[in-house]
Structure 1
Amino acid sequence: MRFIEDKNVSFEHARTSEELGRYLVAARDLAPGDLVLTERPLVFGPKGMQNLDAMPCVGCYKQVSTDVGERCSRCGWPVCSGNCAGLTDPRHHGVECHILSSRPECILDNMGDYYRHDALLPLRCLLLQTVDQEKWKKLSNMQSHMECRMPGSEAYDEANEFIVEYLMDFINKADKDIRNKYLPRVSPELIHEMCGIIDTNALEIRVPEGTELLALYTNTCIMEHSCIPNTKHTFTLSAKDKNDMYRITVKVVVPVEKGNHITTMYSHALWGTQARRQHLKDTKYFACRCPRCSDPTELGTYLSALKCLGEGNQVCDGIHLPEEPLDDETDWKCNKCSMKVNNSQVNMIISQMGEEVENVQMMGGSVTSLENLLCRLSTFLHPNHYHLYSIKHSLIQLYGRQPNYMSEEILDKKIKMCKDLIIITKTLDPGNARLSLYNAVLQHELHSALLLKAKKTKSNGSPKTLEEIKPLIMESKLALENALNSLKDDIEEKSGKQLFKVIVNSKKDFEKYCKEKKIRI
C-alpha cells in the first residue's frame, strides 16, 4: 500500500455543522477495501497501568517487572533496559525525561501512584510546544470540550487529582532553565485542556508487548461516530521506518456513496442503545442519533429488548421496547399489551443483571453456572439481549470441548447458538469493523461443531455415510473460510494474531480429515 502522509485519499476536506461539529464525506463512491486515509500520530503514550506486577517501559512499552526491573538512569522510571532506543527518542522518553528527572528517587511501594503512566501522554502533548511546533498547532485545534469539564465536574476533578496536580509537582520542581526550554507555556488550565483533548479524541492501540497506548491523529479525529460504522481502522505495529510506528490506516468496510458521511465508532457494538449513548455522553460529550440508536429494535436484533411478564394475572408473550429510544427517560412499552415499565426500573434491572453476568465470567464461567444464569435471565430478557449474547458467546466455546458436553444433542444446541449469534453480529457489524474477533470465534466454533457432528457415529454405532457427512463438511468449510476472512485486518494485533493461528491449525486438521476420508470439496 502506498502511504500518503497528511493527505486525504478519498474524502473531501472536513465539513462543519452545528449538530455534528467537523465531519468527513466521501469524495467519490467508495467500495469495501478502499483507503480513506492513513496518517502518523501526532503524539502517543501509555494508558493507565492495568497490572500492578508489571509496568510498561517508558521507551518501548514492553512490560517490565516492578520489583526487579531496570530504571532510567536520569529519572528513575521503569525501563526494559538502559540501552532501550526509546529512552533517547523525542517521540518516546527522550524529552519528557528532562521534566521527570526533577524527581529522580526510585521506590518499590505504591508504584502505581508514584509512576503514573497515564500522566505521560498529557506531558508529551505539552512538550510538542518545543519538540514539534507544527504538531502543537494541530493538537491545539482539537476539541477539548472544556465547557463540559468545568471545576466540580467528575471529569475535571478526576483529571485534577490524578494528572494535573501530579504533573505540576514535577514541573514546579524542575530546574527553571529546563522548564523554560521545554515548557515555555504551562499551567494547570493548559494541562486540563490537554486531558480534555485526549479524552475526546484519543484512540486506543494494543501493542504486541501487552501494553495499551493512546494516540492522537489529525484527520482521523474528525471522523463522525455511528453505531453502524462504515470504516475500520488498523495500526502499524511493526515498521522498517520507526516514524511509521502506530500509523493509522482507515478503510471502507461497506459501500459508501459519494457525499455520504464517513463514520467510525467510539463505543462498544455489543452494548444496548442506552448504554452506548450514555457512554458517548460521558466520554465524547454528544448524544448519538444514528439509525441504530433511533430504532427501538436496533436494526431488528432486539439487543436491548425485555420480555413482557404481563399485568396482574394476564400472561403476555410480548416484548418491551423503548417508546422513544432517543429520550433517556422514555418508558418501555409492550408491543402486544398495554403494560409499561419506566426507564429507571429498566436501568436498575439491566444493571443488576450485568453485574451477575460479569461476576460469573470473572469466576471462570463453568458450563453449569453459565447455563443456570442463562436460564434465569431468559425469563426477563429477549433471547437476543446483549447480556444473553455474552453468556452464549462463552458457552459456545465450552460446548463440544469438555468431556461431558460432546453429545450430538449438545452439538446441535451449539450449532444453533452459533448461527443465532452470527446473524446478530453481522447485522450490527456487516463489515467486521468492530466485531471481527467475535465473528471469527463464532464461525470457528460453528466449524468445530459441524465437523465433530460429522465424525460422530449414528445411534446404532455405525459411521455416518458420505452422503450424510458431506453437507456438514461443506458448511464447516464455509464457516472456516468466514472465520479467516473476518480476521484479515487483525493479524498484526496480538489477539487477532493468536486467534488466526488457532484457526489456521484447525484448517490444517480439517484438510487432513477430508484427505483421509477422501472427501472432495
Structure 2
Amino acid sequence: MWDMTKHGNEDVPYEARTSEELGRYLVAARDLAPGDLVLTERPLVFGPKSQPNPEAAVPCVGCYKLVTADAGERCSRCGWPVCSGHCPGLTNSRHHGVECHILSVRPECVLDNIADYYRYDALLPLRCMLLQIVDPEKWKKLSDMQSHMECRLPGSEAYDEANEFIVEYLMNNFINKLENNVKKKYFPDISAELVHKMCGIIDTNALEIRVPDGVELLALFTNTCIMEHSCIPNTKHTFTQFAKDKNDLYRITVKVVVPVEKGNHITTMYSHALWGTQARRQHLKDTKYFACRCLRCSDPTEFGTYLSAMKCLGDGNQVCDGIHLPEDPLDDETDWACNKCSIKVNNSQVNMIITQMGEEVENVQMIGISVTMLENLLCRLSTFLHPNHYHLYSIKHSLIQLYGRQPNYMSEEILDKKIKMCKDLIAITKILDPGNSRLSLYNAVLQHELHSALLCKAKKVKCDGSMETVGKIKYLMIEAKSAIEIALDSLKDDIEETSGKKLFKVIVNSKKDFEKFCKENKGYF
C-alpha cells in the first residue's frame, strides 16, 4: 500500500508505504542524490527534556534559556522559573501560554527540592494533551502516532517510570485540582490512561533538539516520525533555531546524504552510531520496541570495522591471536566464536565483560581526563578488545585531543602516534557514517586534530636537530590543508547547533593560523 503526497504542484520525493513488519515507512519516489531535500515540516508540539542538574540551572518555560533555579524570576501566575516576566514565550500558545492556566492551580513557589517540584519532562505530555483545544487538527495527527502501549503495560519499567514521574505528577498536582468546567474547557478528553498514551507517543516518536545555550528539547513531527531506522542512515536532519517567522522555530529539514535509488527505503537513525551492535539493538528494543535487522546489525564485522569484536585469549594452554565475533548478531543468545580456533564464549559472558569495561571508560572520562589514566585504560582493555572496538574508539578519541597539546606530549614519536590514531579513527568513522549524518562532530574533531598534528610535525625540529626536508614539509602541509577543509565541511549542517557552532569557530581560527603560516613560508607551497 502506498500513496504519493503532493507539495504545491510538485510531487514530493518520497512515497509513504505500509507493511505488517515495518508499519508506515518511506521510499524514494525517484533517484535521490546527496543534498536533495526529502521533507521539511514544523513540529506538532515541543517541550524541554528532564534536566541533568535542576538544582543548579533550569530552562525558562517560555524560551528555554537557562536560568538560575533558586534565585531567578518566576512566572507571575504559575510560579515556574522564567528568564524574565516579559519573555514572549510566556503568552505564546506554542510555548507556555496555555499550560500556564493549568500549572497555576499550584501557584506557590519553592526553593528546595526543585527537581521534584518542577518536573520539566511533564511539560511535553501536558502540551500534547492541550493540543485538543490549541489545535484540534494537530491533536488528531498526534493521536494517530504509534504509542506501543501494548509493550508499556502496568508493571513494565516504562509504564511504572512514566506513572511515577509524569502521570501521577500531572494528575495529582494539577489536572485533578481543576474545577470540572475548567477541566472540560482545556481537556475534552482526559484520564491517566491518556497521559500514559502521550508518554508512549513521545518515547516512540520524539526527536531531540539542542537549543543554542545547550538545553535539550523533544519535538514531535507528523511525517518525519514515519521514517524507518537504519544503523547506516541515508539522510540527515537539522532544525531551524532562528526564524523570521516564529512558527518556523524548530522546523525540521531532512536531506539525503548518500545516493538513494528509486524504490529504496529512506532511513534515519534512532540510536548511536558508535555503539556496538548489541548495545544499539538493545537500546532500540527498550525505547522504540523493535529489533533492528539492518545490514550493519546483520554483519558480525559491522562492515569490516570490527567495532564490537573481542580478542581470543586461547584455551589457557595455547595462545591464539584470533578474534571473537557473534555467530548470529541478530540472536540475543548467540555464542561468540573465534575465527582461528574452536573456542566459543556465550553471550552473557561477553555482555558482562563489555558492560564492566564501558563503566570503566565512563568513569575515567567523568572524573577528569588525563593522558596517563587514558593510556593505562587503553593498554589494559586492548588485551581483550579488537583495536577498533567502540570502547577503545572512545578512549582514543579523547587521547588525540590531548596528544600534541600538552608540554609532555609534544615529541615526534607522540605526534606520529597521534597522526596514526586519527587516521585509524577517521577510517572507521567514514565506514560507519559515509554520509556524515550522525558523526559529523566526531569527524570534524578527528580531522582538526589530524591537521594540528601534521602542522606541528612540519614545524618541529627532529630528534637529531635537523628539520624535515622541504619535500616532506610540503607533503605534510598539503595533507594538513586537506584535513582542515574536510573538518569545516563536516560541520556545514551543524553550525546552528551549540556544539557545532563552537567547534566551527575553533576550526576557522585554526585555518586562519594555518593560512598565515603558509603565507610566511611561501617556499613550502
* Counterpart for residue 245 of structure 1: 249
1:154 paired with 2:157, answer: yes
1:104 paired with 2:95, answer: no
* Counterpart for residue 336 of structure 1: 340
The verdict on how the C-alpha distance between 1:8 and 1:381 changes in structure 2, with shifts beyond 3 A counting, is farther
The correspondence of residues 146-185 of structure 1 with structure 2, limited to 5 A, is 146-169=149-172, 170-185=174-189
Please tell me the root mean square deviation across aligned C-alpha atoms, in Å. Answer: 1.3
Distance 2:115 2:418 in 1: 43
Letter of the structure 2 residue corresponding to residue 372 of structure 1:
N
1:512 paired with 2:512, answer: no
Distance 2:271 2:203 in 1: 13
Instruction: State whether residues 412 and 463 of structure 2, in contact with CA within 8 Å, keep that contact through their aligned partners in structure 1.
Output: no
Instruction: State whether residues 43 and 125 of structure 1, in contact with CA within 8 Å, keep that contact through their aligned partners in structure 2.
Output: yes
Deviation at 1:176, TM superposition (A): 2.5
Q: Deviations over 1:106-154 (max 9, x none)?
A: 0011011000000000000000000000000100110000000011100
* Counterpart for residue 285 of structure 1: 289
Deviation at 1:184, TM superposition (A): 1.3
Give the alignment partner of residue 478 of structure 2, picking from 474, 479, 492.
474
1:390 paired with 2:394, answer: yes
- SS of equivalent residue, structure 1 residue 234: strand
Instruction: State whether residues 9 and 36 of structure 1, in contact with CA within 8 Å, keep that contact through their aligned partners in structure 2.
Output: no
Distance 2:360 2:475 in 1: 39
Distance 1:278 1:432 in 2: 24
Letter of the structure 2 residue corresponding to residue 89 of structure 1:
N
- SS of equivalent residue, structure 1 residue 320: strand
Distance 1:492 1:127 in 2: 30
* Counterpart for residue 497 of structure 1: 501
- SS of equivalent residue, structure 1 residue 261: coil
* Counterpart for residue 44 of structure 1: 46
TM-score normalised by structure 2 residue count: 0.97
1:91 paired with 2:131, answer: no
Distance 2:360 2:7 in 1: 47
Distance 1:7 1:140 in 2: 29
1:143 paired with 2:146, answer: yes
Deviation at 1:379, TM superposition (A): 0.3
Q: Deviations over 1:264-312 (max 9, x none)?
A: 0000000000000000000000000000000000010000000000013
Instruction: State whether residues 322 and 338 of structure 2, in contact with CA within 8 Å, keep that contact through their aligned partners in structure 1.
Output: yes
1:357 paired with 2:364, answer: no
Distance 1:118 1:174 in 2: 21
Deviation at 1:383, TM superposition (A): 0.2
Number of equivalences? 518
Q: Deviations over 1:400-427 (max 9, x none)?
A: 0000000000000000000000000000
Letter of the structure 2 residue corresponding to residue 504 of structure 1:
V
* Counterpart for residue 85 of structure 2: 82
The correspondence of residues 371-450 of structure 1 with structure 2, limited to 5 A, is 371-450=375-454
* Counterpart for residue 62 of structure 1: 65
1:483 paired with 2:482, answer: no
Give the alignment partner of residue 320 of structure 1, picking from 319, 324, 347.
324
TM-score normalised by structure 1 residue count: 0.98
Deviation at 1:175, TM superposition (A): 2.7
Q: Which moved more, 1:173-182 or 1:238-247?
A: 173-182
The verdict on how the C-alpha distance between 1:6 and 1:389 changes in structure 2, with shifts beyond 3 A counting, is farther
Instruction: State whether residues 232 and 251 of structure 1, in contact with CA within 8 Å, keep that contact through their aligned partners in structure 2.
Output: yes
The verdict on how the C-alpha distance between 1:398 and 1:326 changes in structure 2, with shifts beyond 3 A counting, is same
* Counterpart for residue 123 of structure 1: 126
Instruction: State whether residues 57 and 78 of structure 1, in contact with CA within 8 Å, keep that contact through their aligned partners in structure 2.
Output: yes
* Counterpart for residue 135 of structure 2: 132
- SS of equivalent residue, structure 2 residue 217: strand
The verdict on how the C-alpha distance between 1:420 and 1:247 changes in structure 2, with shifts beyond 3 A counting, is same
Percentage of matched positions with identical amino acids: 82
Give the alignment partner of residue 191 of structure 2, picking from 177, 183, 187.
187
Deviation at 1:8, TM superposition (A): 8.8
The verdict on how the C-alpha distance between 1:520 and 1:8 changes in structure 2, with shifts beyond 3 A counting, is farther
Distance 1:331 1:162 in 2: 39
Give the alignment partner of residue 314 of structure 2, picking from 306, 310, 314.
310
* Counterpart for residue 3 of structure 2: none
The verdict on how the C-alpha distance between 1:125 and 1:7 changes in structure 2, with shifts beyond 3 A counting, is farther
Q: Deviations over 1:443-473 (max 9, x none)?
A: 0000000000000113332333322200000
Give the alignment partner of residue 28 of structure 1, picking from 30, 51, 57.
30
Instruction: State whether residues 26 and 265 of structure 2, in contact with CA within 8 Å, keep that contact through their aligned partners in structure 1.
Output: yes
* Counterpart for residue 454 of structure 1: 458
- SS of equivalent residue, structure 2 residue 52: coil
Instruction: State whether residues 305 and 385 of structure 1, in contact with CA within 8 Å, keep that contact through their aligned partners in structure 2.
Output: yes
Distance 1:110 1:19 in 2: 45
Give the alignment partner of residue 300 of structure 1, picking from 293, 301, 304.
304
Instruction: State whether residues 332 and 341 of structure 1, in contact with CA within 8 Å, keep that contact through their aligned partners in structure 2.
Output: yes
Distance 1:131 1:110 in 2: 32
* Counterpart for residue 56 of structure 2: 53
Instruction: State whether residues 473 and 524 of structure 2, in contact with CA within 8 Å, keep that contact through their aligned partners in structure 1.
Output: no
Instruction: State whether residues 72 and 79 of structure 1, in contact with CA within 8 Å, keep that contact through their aligned partners in structure 2.
Output: yes
Deviation at 1:178, TM superposition (A): 2.0
* Counterpart for residue 270 of structure 1: 274
Distance 2:293 2:94 in 1: 38
The verdict on how the C-alpha distance between 1:6 and 1:348 changes in structure 2, with shifts beyond 3 A counting, is farther
Instruction: State whether residues 57 and 66 of structure 2, in contact with CA within 8 Å, keep that contact through their aligned partners in structure 1.
Output: yes
- SS of equivalent residue, structure 2 residue 266: strand
- SS of equivalent residue, structure 1 residue 443: helix
Letter of the structure 1 residue corresponding to residue 476 of structure 2:
L
Gaps of 5+ in 2: 1-5
Instruction: State whether residues 41 and 215 of structure 1, in contact with CA within 8 Å, keep that contact through their aligned partners in structure 2.
Output: yes
Letter of the structure 2 residue corresponding to residue 64 of structure 1:
V
Distance 1:20 1:385 in 2: 30
Instruction: State whether residues 10 and 28 of structure 1, in contact with CA within 8 Å, keep that contact through their aligned partners in structure 2.
Output: no
Give the alignment partner of residue 12 of structure 1, picking from 11, 14, 22.
14
Letter of the structure 1 residue corresponding to residue 366 of structure 2:
M
- SS of equivalent residue, structure 2 residue 267: strand
Deviation at 1:89, TM superposition (A): 0.2
The verdict on how the C-alpha distance between 1:484 and 1:7 changes in structure 2, with shifts beyond 3 A counting, is farther
Instruction: State whether residues 99 and 178 of structure 1, in contact with CA within 8 Å, keep that contact through their aligned partners in structure 2.
Output: no
The verdict on how the C-alpha distance between 1:6 and 1:250 changes in structure 2, with shifts beyond 3 A counting, is farther
